[in-house]
Chain A
Amino acid sequence: MTAVGATVVDWGQLLKVVWTAAAAGVGVTLVFSLAVLGASRCFEHQRSNQPLGAFAFGLLALAGLGVCGAAIVAGIIVLAQK
């Protein structure tokens, strides 16, 4: 049974799908959450006149959005490679 499963199912390929999807799904959500966190803290620091903190969190928000955008573009490019 195990031998049949091993020959019929390409477990290596399936595992690749599993880890790629897990890394992309959790990774992009994590980075986007950091962007939301950065933007929220940035506004808070702006309101309380703390420009350095606002700049740092603004940078975090922009970096997060940039990484998310890049991940989406990378995903489409990988998909388009036949």
Chain B
Amino acid sequence: MHSDVLFAIVVATALAFDFTNGFHDTANVVATSISTRALSPRVAIGIASLLNFAGAFISLKVAATVAKGIVAAGSVTLPIVFAGLIGAITWNLVTWYFGLPSSSSHALIGGVVGAMLAAHGTGAIQGDGLLGKIVVPALVAPLLAFAVAGVAILVVYRLVGRLRPGFVTRGFRLGQVASGGLLALAHGTNDAQKTMGIITLALVAHGDLGAKSAHTPTWVVVVAATAIALGTYSGGWRIINTMGNRIIRMDSAQGFSAQGAGAAVILAASHVGYPLSTTHVISGGVMGAGAAKRLSAVRWGVAGNIVVAWLLTLPAAGATGAIVYGFTRIFGSGALGPVVISVLSLLLVGLLFARRAQTTATAAQARI
């Protein structure tokens, strides 16, 4: 009975994380299309939601990596999964509050690894998997997207630089509808799978699946796809503004190059099962498309803040996951600890949103 309640809380928390993932990462998918006026905000977010939903059904390789390749699946317990998720949600909300596009994927992995370390020590962490499948690809991916977008935009300017600007702008805006769509599909494929992997881990911990033969059930795919699509539809406007306007002021050709490079990197990585951060990839692409035109076009101060947030993500989410796990243990191994944490978390989230709304209202009054 306790185990069933705990399992239900963990699945609900995983879906809440998936929602914040869509909400937080909407910016990756739509910001460039909105800032270059390729699509209106509502249409861009609507298309992104639908394609995120569809993308979640395309492949399960990333889910398998999350479920099997990073921590010892047999040692995972429901309180560990819960603590990891709370660590990830906390980091997502903190970075959303400051308008910083950080990685939901790394927050999730950091949270679970931190809780696992608190519970079992280093023995339960698959260091090889963490380094080979997460850390090294995480370092390579944004640099790759930066380089690909940079080369791509130079090719574009070389070919169409002397044509009438109006026609070129309209052409690349049309192209952005396709590249943004592909990006949304790639995002759904890559990111929804992380939640699927986490729920699969919870099913293993609950005894519904074997640790060695864990496969992702269809209902998990459906609920994860729905949660990320709903989160995407809700939209995170603060991060959309950072991604679309504050890193560089981009034209439609730059937007197309950044989105194309991002989609190419994410699709290639998903194919081999690397759970990449779409945020890192798209930010890299946006910076590359800006820097190739003119180095000073990139607001390096904003870019620096984003990189600092990236570097802090794994340790901060890990520390939160470890602390939450320690706190839940005070209440024993049953459902009470996660229930208390869930209630406290909901109260804190409510306060955070109220404070945000108050700040926005004050700023609006000051403008009047």
Q: Is B160 touching A82 in the complex (CB atoms < 8 A)?
A: no
Residues of B within 8 A of A8 (CB): 127-128, 131-132
- What per-residue 1/0 map shows which CB atoms of A16-27 lie under 8 Å from chain B? 111011101110
The A-contacting residues of B in range 247-274, CB under 8 angstroms, are 256-257, 260-261, 263-265, 267-272, 274
Residues of B within 8 A of A17 (CB): 137, 140, 144, 265, 268-269, 271-272, 274
- What per-residue 1/0 map shows which CB atoms of A66-82 lie under 8 Å from chain B? 00100010011011111
The B-contacting residues of A in range 6-50, CB under 8 angstroms, are 7-10, 13-14, 16-18, 20-22, 24-26, 28-30, 32-37, 39-40, 43
Q: Is A39 touching B149 in the complex (CB atoms < 8 A)?
A: no
CA of A40 to CA of B168, assembled, Å: 8
Residues of B within 8 A of A43 (CB): 167
CA of A18 to CA of B265, assembled, Å: 8
Residues of B within 8 A of A21 (CB): 144-145, 148, 261, 264-265, 267-269
**How many residues of chain B have a CB within 8 Å of chain A?**
49
CA of A82 to CA of B146, assembled, Å: 28
CA of A14 to CA of B271, assembled, Å: 11
Q: Within 8 Å of chain A (Cβ to Cβ): is B163?
A: yes
CA of A25 to CA of B268, assembled, Å: 10
Q: Is B265 touching A25 in the complex (CB atoms < 8 A)?
A: yes
Q: Which of A13, A16, A24, A81 interacts with B264 by CB under 8 Å?
A: A24
Residues of B within 8 A of A30 (CB): 152, 155, 159
CA of A64 to CA of B189, assembled, Å: 27
Quote the shortest CB–CB distance from A58 to chain B (angstroms): 14
**Which of B13-21, B57-65, B90-98 lies at the interface?**
B57-65
Q: Is B132 touching A9 in the complex (CB atoms < 8 A)?
A: yes
CA of A39 to CA of B256, assembled, Å: 17
Residues of A within 8 A of B256 (CB): 29, 32
Quote the shortest CB–CB distance from B60 to chain A (angstroms): 6
- What per-residue 1/0 map shows which CB atoms of B104-140 lie under 8 Å from chain A? 0000000000000000000000011001100011001
Q: Is A36 touching B168 in the complex (CB atoms < 8 A)?
A: yes
Residues of B within 8 A of A28 (CB): 260, 264
Residues of A within 8 A of B145 (CB): 21, 25
CA of A74 to CA of B263, assembled, Å: 13
CA of A13 to CA of B271, assembled, Å: 10
Q: Which of A24, A26, A40, A76 interacts with B268 by CB under 8 Å?
A: A24
**Which of B26-34, B37-45, B171-179 lies at the interface?**
B171-179
Residues of A within 8 A of B260 (CB): 25, 28-29, 32
Q: Find the residue from A22, A68, A79 having the highest chain B CB count within 10 A.
A: A79
Q: Find the residue from A9, A10, A21, A72 having the highest chain B CB count within 10 A.
A: A21
Residues of A within 8 A of B211 (CB): none
* Between-chain CB contacts (< 8 Å), 11 pairs: A16-B268, A20-B264, A24-B267, A25-B145, A25-B260, A29-B156, A29-B261, A36-B171, A39-B167, A78-B267, A79-B189
Chain B interface residues toward A at CB < 8 A: 58-61, 127-128, 131-132, 136-137, 140, 144-145, 147-149, 151-153, 155-156, 159-160, 163-164, 167-168, 171-172, 175, 178, 182, 185-186, 189, 256-257, 260-261, 263-265, 267-272, 274
Given contacts A22-B144, A82-B59, could you give 11 more A-B pairs where the C-beta distance is less than 8 Å? A14-B140, A17-B140, A17-B271, A18-B144, A22-B148, A28-B260, A36-B168, A37-B160, A37-B163, A43-B167, A82-B60
